[in-house]
Structure 1
Amino acid sequence: MRVGFVVGQFPMLSETFVIGQMAGLLRRGFEVDVVCNGISDYNFADRQEEPLATLLARTRDWWGPAARLRPAIGRLPPKLYDKASTALDISSVARLNQCDVIVAHFGHNGARAARLKKWKRLAPPIVTIFHGYDVGVPLKERDLDRYNDLFEQGALNLTVNDYFRRVLIQAGAPEAKVAVHHMGIDLKKIPYEWKSWRGATLQLVSVCRLAEKKGVEYALRALARLHADAPALDWHYRIIGDGPLRPQLEALASELGIAGQVSFLGSLPHQEVKEWLRRSHAFVLPSVTAPNGDVEGIPVALMEAMAAGLTVVSSTHSGIPELIEDRKTGFLAAERDVETLANRLRFIAEHPDDCERIAAEARRKVGAEFDMEALDDDFAAILSRFSRSRLAA
């Protein structure tokens, strides 16, 4: 069976889950083609290593040799841009039509494929996976009707959480065409290791892009509240990642008087990130809805931390409560609720034994519902059904 993936820039460090899903299909005997919106100059993996070596050999820019015109076309007025980009998209249709099914990651890529199907240029069924930005931003802008063609022409819309499923149905997607399919993690590569902080410094960590929706500002404010309320508690907070808010966040840590207990480590190689996670006790990610509506799906970083035995602290945001149940598999506070977040952090600092039970339950939760191997089996079965339906037709 041949699957054509339609994605944005490829490959992307922030979208390793896309590569993981493609690799899962390769391991199950599928052929994979990739049509993307630009082949990136990535620096996070070896071009010769698998699965990237195989995937890149099967990757084509939507616009082929005309991709060099992308900057100029991007400056066109919207109507002219739509006409020019659609005409260039058609240059990839012959390759996509050789596939049994199309998988589009992110709603805008699904809509792009659906437009070609509406014009009867694209034959295979389209399965679109919605992740976060592609739901939250149009919801905020009251513009979910941008997906009307996709709702009509697409075969299936998969959402990474149930919250997104409900949003799409309310926006007009046929209920029979919308289902939840979680992203997952490779549990075989993440050994569970509980580490108590009794009599030691509580090591807190965040691994994320330093953008507003990750909520690092509120983690800092909560820790400042904790420092004021319980100055004797011994903790250190490390922030791994970079992004546009780093200067402001560094300044905020100083302004709050906690800079001596906060380290900004910047972007680190994956192996170093794994080592810092191994040394840490609790993972902090109090996500919030950004002003433009951007939201999380269910962050893979939280799944990985839970699998590894860290106590997780997050927020009642988007699909996160589908992963974390407060005080049972982790700790939650409402978005931007600094007081509750500080209380949760204080409880963790003072009750390591209770947290051991919670961490063990968190590992069980991830194993039951977010195991990448089981999810890839399910995904392969979904695609196979569409292929059989097409052959029968």
Structure 2
Amino acid sequence: MNVTYFSLNFPELTQTFVYNEMRGLKNLAVDVNVVALRRPASNVSSLPENYGFSNRIQYVQADKRRLHRIAALIRGGIRLLARGDIRTLWRLATIRDSDIRLPISQKLRIAASLQGSNSLSDVIHCHFGPAGRVVAHLKKLGLINVPMTTVFHGYDITQYTDGRPEIYRELFEQADLLLPISDLWRRRLIDLGAPPEKITTIRLGIDCNAFNYKLRTIPAGQRMRFITIGRMTEKKGHRFAIQAFSQLVSRRPDLDLSLDIVGDGPLFGDMQSLAEASGHSNRIQFHGGLPHQEIKRLLDEAHIFVLPSVTAADGDMEGIPVSIMEAMAMGLPVISTRHSGIPELVSREESGLLVPESDTEALSSAMEQLVTNPTLIQTMGLQGRRIVEEQFNEEKQTRELLLSFKRITEHVGSHRLLDQLASAVQK
């Protein structure tokens, strides 16, 4: 099978789950290619290159040279005329999408890249709704005739759709498969008007073999270490982690505690100031953004993982954080919130503790409950590893994704055959 990923920006540093999925498909003998509109100016991931995809990426940027745009239009028009596709030419001239705002010459070039010169792609696969909208628009125009799928993660089904309930109308019409990463997002897609028969929940997963499980023991006299990992944005809830930790230190001066904060982003300075103002900055260490191996080292040294995610003021929400999966895979109990798809990962009272969003007192109490109960830390850590192995395993999830690809290609292929037979009978 040949799968072409379409992305607006590639490869972004924060989308490790996409690159791991690509690697998983490659390991299953899938031919993977990437078409993207642009390369990020900063925060570029090296994983696609490390995984051997550097020569599989094609960028189709808008050409600012007028003569080149005209030439692309002429070439595209000739190809359509050569196959007698007058309907697509008419659609190109008449259909507009004010939100997508791509010049016709670029649409033609994107379509040619997505399908390959000989229509080699079996499936066009998009991560995030905005990328799926572009492919759906091209499909509606008739520029591509390939099954397409779209994965929905978080902001693309919350913040992105706020005040725009019809934003995905074209995508819902044209997509062959809609893949939310949680059951909560499945219900949200249905609320937005997506056909239920097109929706399949597909979990993100991690490579369990890359994360060594460790039974968390706390020898006498050793400091108990909390850790939180995430980009410094509002929805990650760093503010509440710092405040709850500070409350716990003030309440229990007899406990030797520390908090490691890993991540960079727009709120980094604000969070440092908050830690300073708490009076316990000597117990809180900011590491900034770190390579993955360094993050795994810190996870290995920690005892409890904390991520008090919240709904941001602009409506942005989590999907199911990969950082929680990685922590659970390494045997860390989790303290988080009843937010988005997190309860579908963190089994309450079994692999972790969940508290209401933005509830600093409840968060601090949960931190104290675990830090004073070493046995609970161990049993929750063991249960967390089991959950990840069974339900959020990258290899299992990639196989499920590949089966979904095969089902839609077979379905589309059978419909094309029936259409061809009907046309032959009519003639």
TM-score for the superposition, normalised by structure 2? 0.85
Separation (CA, whole Å) in 1 of partners of 2:98 and 2:166:
21
Equivalent position of 1:303 in the other structure? 325
Equivalent position of 1:74 in the other structure? none
Q: Encode CA deviations 1:122-150: one digit per residue, 9 max, x unaligned.
A: 111111000101011134x2313100001
Deviates more, 1:141-150 or 1:158-167: 141-150
Identity of aligned residues (%): 34
Separation (CA, whole Å) in 2 of partners of 1:44 and 1:95:
23
Q: Encode CA deviations 1:287-328: one digit per residue, 9 max, x unaligned.
A: 011111111110000000001011111111000000012221
Evaluate the alpha carbon distance shift between residue 154 and residue 282 of structure 1 in structure 2; reply closer, same or farther with a 3 A threshold.
same
Is 1:203 matched up with 2:204? Answer: no
Equivalent position of 2:54 in the other structure? 56
Q: Is the 8 A contact 1:64 1:91 kept in 2?
A: no
Equivalent position of 1:374 in the other structure? 396
Evaluate the alpha carbon distance shift between residue 87 and residue 328 of structure 1 in structure 2; reply closer, same or farther with a 3 A threshold.
same
Equivalent position of 2:14 in the other structure? 14
Is 1:117 matched up with 2:139? Answer: yes
Deviation of 1:65 after TM superposition, in Å, equals 5.4
Equivalent position of 2:424 in the other structure? none
Equivalent position of 1:167 in the other structure? 188
Matches within 5 A, 1:159-238: 159-199=180-220, 200-238=222-260
Q: Encode CA deviations 1:263-293: one digit per residue, 9 max, x unaligned.
A: 0011112211111111111111100111111
Equivalent position of 2:81 in the other structure? none
Deviation of 1:198 after TM superposition, in Å, equals 5.0
Equivalent position of 2:111 in the other structure? 93
Root-mean-square deviation (CA, aligned residues, Å) is: 2.1
Q: Is the 8 A contact 1:63 1:91 kept in 2?
A: no
For structure 1, which runs of at least 5 residues remain unmatched after alignment?
Answer: 70-77
Separation (CA, whole Å) in 2 of partners of 1:48 and 1:135:
30
Equivalent position of 2:3 in the other structure? 3
Evaluate the alpha carbon distance shift between residue 334 and residue 230 of structure 1 in structure 2; reply closer, same or farther with a 3 A threshold.
same
Q: Helix, strand or coil for the counterpart of 1:205?
A: strand
Q: Helix, strand or coil for the counterpart of 1:179?
A: coil
For structure 2, which runs of at least 5 residues remain unmatched after alignment?
Answer: 69-95, 417-427
Aligned residue-pair number: 381
Deviation of 1:83 after TM superposition, in Å, equals 4.3
Separation (CA, whole Å) in 1 of partners of 2:409 and 2:336:
40
Separation (CA, whole Å) in 1 of partners of 2:97 and 2:139:
20
Equivalent position of 1:102 in the other structure? 124
Rg comparison, structure with higher value: 2
Q: Helix, strand or coil for the counterpart of 1:11?
A: coil
The 4+ residue runs of structure 1 with deviation greater than 6 A are 78-81
Equivalent position of 2:177 in the other structure? 156
Letter in 1 for 2:21: Q
Q: Helix, strand or coil for the counterpart of 2:17?
A: helix
Deviation of 1:178 after TM superposition, in Å, equals 1.1
Is 1:315 matched up with 2:315? Answer: no
Evaluate the alpha carbon distance shift between residue 20 and residue 90 of structure 1 in structure 2; reply closer, same or farther with a 3 A threshold.
same
Q: Is the 8 A contact 1:138 1:144 kept in 2?
A: no
Evaluate the alpha carbon distance shift between residue 104 and residue 350 of structure 1 in structure 2; reply closer, same or farther with a 3 A threshold.
same
Is 1:354 matched up with 2:355? Answer: no
Q: Helix, strand or coil for the counterpart of 2:149?
A: strand
Separation (CA, whole Å) in 2 of partners of 1:260 and 1:17:
34
TM-score for the superposition, normalised by structure 1? 0.92
Evaluate the alpha carbon distance shift between residue 350 and residue 313 of structure 1 in structure 2; reply closer, same or farther with a 3 A threshold.
same
Q: Helix, strand or coil for the counterpart of 1:168?
A: helix
Separation (CA, whole Å) in 2 of partners of 1:214 and 1:361:
24
Separation (CA, whole Å) in 1 of partners of 2:224 and 2:65:
50
Deviates more, 1:330-339 or 1:93-102: 93-102
Letter in 2 for 1:335: E
Deviates more, 1:222-231 or 1:360-369: 222-231
Equivalent position of 1:24 in the other structure? 24
Separation (CA, whole Å) in 1 of partners of 2:256 and 2:101:
60
